Structure 1
Amino acid sequence: MEPAPLLLLILLGLLWGCSGRPAEKLVVMPRQPVVQYGGSVQLNCSLTCAEGTVQWKGLDTNLGSITSFPTHSILHINSAVVATGGTKICQGTCHGQYYQQVVDLEVYALPDTLQLETEPRVLEPGQPATLQCSAQHVYPLRGLMLTWYRGDQALEEADFNVMETEEELFDITAKLQVAGQHVEEGVEFGCKVTLSIGQETFTLVATVTVSAGAVTEQPVAKATSTASPWTAAATMESASTARSVTTTVLPPEPKRPDPQDLPAGSPTSHLATTTLPSSGTLSPPAEAQEMAGDSSAPAGVGTGLSVGTVPACTLQIWSLPPNGTRGRALRIECHAWCTRNATIRWLKTPVALSQYREEATGSSSTLWLDHAEPQHQGHYQCALLGHPSQVVSLQLKVSEDGDSTELAVAGGTTVSLLGLIAASVASHRLWKRFRS
């Protein structure tokens, strides 16, 4: 073979080997893991490289066990609790190349039934009534909705009161005042709790029917959730024989999207905001309004039923800088603007809360990091306690300081190889001209 074409083939081979071959991918399955409180899950991290190494990083010792093989590693998590959730980091190496994948494990808890109580205990036509709907041991508050129904008509997405349990779960309660003219014989009132987490949605429904004194039988509807391995259906009856309450787990519903981030590039690009609807309006300071942007929760649609109002509050979360850099300082702040003092609680952090320096002043709580690390990236959630549920979340990224340098080096290598190929082609033409 002629020297110049041989050189050209060698250079093409080098270029293919450096940038054209399929890259060994590090993959974690499932990509959006969800586990029920008390349940089990396995996360499989694998690398398509025979000589590669794979390992899980930054895990607490009580998270579970790890089974490792040359090309993949399995993280076994049993008896999941709230602290089990968060960012999981898997790292791999292959032929001197470094790979990393991050997944966010979501833990959820939902009871088998709702509790729907009425005052008076027997709903009589034309008489005003108070309905109370409650669910115990629920988690998380983010993605949780409670809606009242009159027949098939959705009345509103209701605010609910929150009480935290020792297990870091929540008990929620909501009340609905019903005027007498809306309490008609045969009318069914219902309470629906929906929890959207990851790609799954779970629903609980409890109903009660207005009766003139006769027992109203209601069949228990059974439905299997295609997004969940468990299904629960139950009937709950009070001591009164004049009413029947049915609680049912329904199939999954479309996922409700999370609030969108603000445009990237600004110091508040990772700000999340939620606003309670109210008859009154509370304006936070000007700088808070700038950070809040246009994000707010729409007010519920009125239906003629009397529903109490609560003071308006605005809860916000942000990080400075918007994206963390490994080895550099970082802070995450959650702040509430209310008509009275408020208590902030962190519901979720990628690592244990004790690994941050927390400062709580007034209606604000700040998490400080002197040196951010990859395990600090992921989901942050904070809640406003003592008020109807308000929860905001933040997806934080921590990048390597040398990412841009590595890209520049890789780009320079590719350009250099292309230059060598061009030089080879030119030399080949000169060589042919010389021979002729």
Structure 2
Amino acid sequence: MEYLQSYHCLLCYLLLALRDPALCAKEITVSPANPVVKVGDAVTLICETTCTQGKPHWMILDESDVTQNTTKNRSYLHIAAVHPNHEGKYTCTAEKCRKQKKETIQLRVYSFPVPVLSTVPENPVSGQPFKVKCTLTNVYHGDYDTVEMLLSHLERLETEHSKNCNDDRFCDHTWSSKDQMGTSKTDYQCETNLTIGPNSFTEKARLAIYFQGDAGDDYNDPRSTAMSPEQMETQTSAPVSTEGKGQAVEASSSTTTAMVALGSTVGFLSILCFLVRLIKRSKRKSPSSGPENHPDGC
């Protein structure tokens, strides 16, 4: 097919030089010429003809989720949300054209999400080994397309690659580094690249790692729940709350009330004893009183 197109172009150049340039014009043209669309995005394919009597029309097998609008010399095929089932060849025809009857293009579909960086274990400990993982989920592309990854920390790291695909050709990719070691905050970066023919797509992710358990590190890990000696001293020397003061005042008032009540009782008993003594003395001075000596009961 490519050879025929080459000969056609060569013939056109000869005709342009020798005769009428209009004889070399294509009667049907489609755009975009090589559509590559991400899963979930929209796309519109346009077919145009120069045939005076030919009306263009897209040939599609399933019209349930696509719309086609046609004018006198143009036809628009619109797909609102592309999915892998839309991938394939699309042909536009114009039956009344004298020479060219149809034009075909190939629609390519892909899915390429942003990578996710993580560590194993999830919370690395200072001075202990850990691994960094770069993960791509639900990647979709053709059999001859390539996916590459670059995991770096100051320089490129060696990684191990694993791949798992489902029946719909959506795949999960995971790249895992060899054992790493660190004692202070550090950064890792993952750069992934998908190549589809002449098209290239790149996604990047960065991860800042904070280490736990480093006593000599001035950086306090926000994920750590350990309390520093300064925090403990601050909590110990904190002033007593207002509620505690209220309880102390209440206890002091209760003690004062009890002491006042005790003093009142002692005073009452003293007065009572004094009255008893007066009564007994008056009885001893009375003539009717006998020779008995009544002891003082107080």
Give the TM-score normalised by the residue count of structure 2: 0.56
Supply the AA of the counterpart residue of 1:81.
H
2:134 touches 2:151 (CA, 8 Å); kept in 1? no
- The residue number in structure 2 matching 1:169 is 170
CA distance in 2, matches of 1:176, 1:90: 49
- The residue number in structure 2 matching 1:105 is 107
1:44 touches 1:75 (CA, 8 Å); kept in 2? yes
- The residue number in structure 1 matching 2:272 is none
Secondary structure of residue in 2 paired with 1:31: coil
Q: What is the CA-CA distance between 1:86 and the residue it aligns to? A: 1.6
- The residue number in structure 2 matching 1:26 is 28
CA distance in 2, matches of 1:47, 1:178: 62
2:161 touches 2:173 (CA, 8 Å); kept in 1? no
Q: What is the CA-CA distance between 1:108 and the residue it aligns to? A: 2.0
Q: What is the CA-CA distance between 1:188 and the residue it aligns to? A: 2.4
- The residue number in structure 2 matching 1:191 is 190
CA distance in 1, matches of 2:99, 2:159: 50
Q: What is the CA-CA distance between 1:179 and the residue it aligns to? A: 4.5
1:116 touches 1:206 (CA, 8 Å); kept in 2? yes
Supply the AA of the counterpart residue of 2:45.
L
- Cα 1:88–1:215 shift into 2, 3 Å: farther
**Following superposition of structure 1 onto structure 2, how do residues 189-268 of structure 1 map, counting pairs within 5 Å?**
189-197=188-196, 199-209=199-209, 211=211, 212=214, 214=219, 240=223
Q: What is the CA-CA distance between 1:44 and the residue it aligns to? A: 0.2
Deviations 1:42-89 (A, max 9, x none): 000111233223222253334512112231211111221111112212
Secondary structure of residue in 2 paired with 1:178: coil
Supply the AA of the counterpart residue of 2:171.
F
Secondary structure of residue in 1 paired with 2:85: helix
**Following superposition of structure 1 onto structure 2, how do residues 37-436 of structure 1 map, counting pairs within 5 Å?**
37-62=39-64, 64-93=66-95, 95-111=97-113, 113-140=114-141, 142-151=145-154, 153-156=155-158, 159-164=161-166, 168-180=169-181, 183=182, 185-197=184-196, 199-209=199-209, 211=211, 212=214, 214=219, 240=223
2:57 touches 2:70 (CA, 8 Å); kept in 1? yes
- Cα 1:48–1:20 shift into 2, 3 Å: closer
Greater strand fraction, Structure 1 or Structure 2: 1
Secondary structure of residue in 2 paired with 1:21: helix
- Cα 1:54–1:20 shift into 2, 3 Å: closer
Q: Unpaired segments of 5 or more residues in structure 1?
A: 1-11, 217-238, 243-436
Q: What is the CA-CA distance between 1:186 and the residue it aligns to? A: 4.4
- The residue number in structure 2 matching 1:36 is 38
Deviations 1:266-316 (A, max 9, x none): xxxxxxxxxxxxxxxxxxxxxxxxxxxxxxxxxxxxxxxxxxxxxxxxxxx
1:63 touches 1:84 (CA, 8 Å); kept in 2? no
- Cα 1:36–1:192 shift into 2, 3 Å: same
Give the TM-score normalised by the residue count of structure 1: 0.40
- Cα 1:20–1:189 shift into 2, 3 Å: closer
Percent of residue pairs bearing the same amino acid type? 22
Supply the AA of the counterpart residue of 2:148.
M
Q: What is the CA-CA distance between 1:24 and the residue it aligns to? A: 3.4
- Cα 1:22–1:92 shift into 2, 3 Å: same
1:147 touches 1:158 (CA, 8 Å); kept in 2? no
Supply the AA of the counterpart residue of 1:71.
N
1:50 touches 1:70 (CA, 8 Å); kept in 2? no
- Cα 1:150–1:109 shift into 2, 3 Å: same
CA distance in 2, matches of 1:138, 1:206: 19
Greater helix fraction, Structure 1 or Structure 2: 2
- Cα 1:157–1:105 shift into 2, 3 Å: farther
2:163 touches 2:171 (CA, 8 Å); kept in 1? no
2:59 touches 2:92 (CA, 8 Å); kept in 1? yes
CA distance in 2, matches of 1:194, 1:215: 36
2:118 touches 2:134 (CA, 8 Å); kept in 1? yes
Deviations 1:368-413 (A, max 9, x none): xxxxxxxxxxxxxxxxxxxxxxxxxxxxxxxxxxxxxxxxxxxxxx
2:39 touches 2:111 (CA, 8 Å); kept in 1? yes
1:86 touches 1:104 (CA, 8 Å); kept in 2? yes
Supply the AA of the counterpart residue of 2:119.
T
Supply the AA of the counterpart residue of 1:201.
F
Considering only CA atoms, is the larger Rg found in Structure 1 or Structure 2? 2
CA distance in 2, matches of 1:51, 1:73: 15
CA distance in 1, matches of 2:191, 2:209: 15
